Amino acid sequence: MDWQEVAIDGESHMRRMRDMYEELGFEVRLEEIQPERCKQCTECFRERGEKIYRIYARREQEAEESK
């Protein structure tokens, strides 16, 4: 199975999501994106000075099978 986008979020929430997905047995990939490439409101991220990430996940076993 390919990577699936699971969220777009700021770095503080991204860490919690990454940890949660990893605990559930997923491999996680992060892609930093610029606010203008995000199709949602980014004002709160800008106010807090947070980077924005696109978060992808896939099951670890599926990652092994695709090698």
pLDDT at 6: 94
Q: What is the DSSP letter of 8?
A: E
Nearest to 17 by CA among 61, 63, 54: 54
Token couple for 8: 């777009």
Structural domain for 19, as ranges:
4-65
Cβ pair 4, 27 in contact under 8 A:
no
Kindly state the helix (H) or strand (E) to which residue 15 belongs, with its residue range.
helix 11-23
In order along its 67 residues, the chain shows pLDDT tens digits of 699 999 888 888 899 999 999 999 999 999 998 877 776 777 777 777 888 899 999 997 755 566 5
Domain count across the chain? 1
Degrees, nearest 5: CA angle 19-23-27: 75
pTM of the model: 0.76
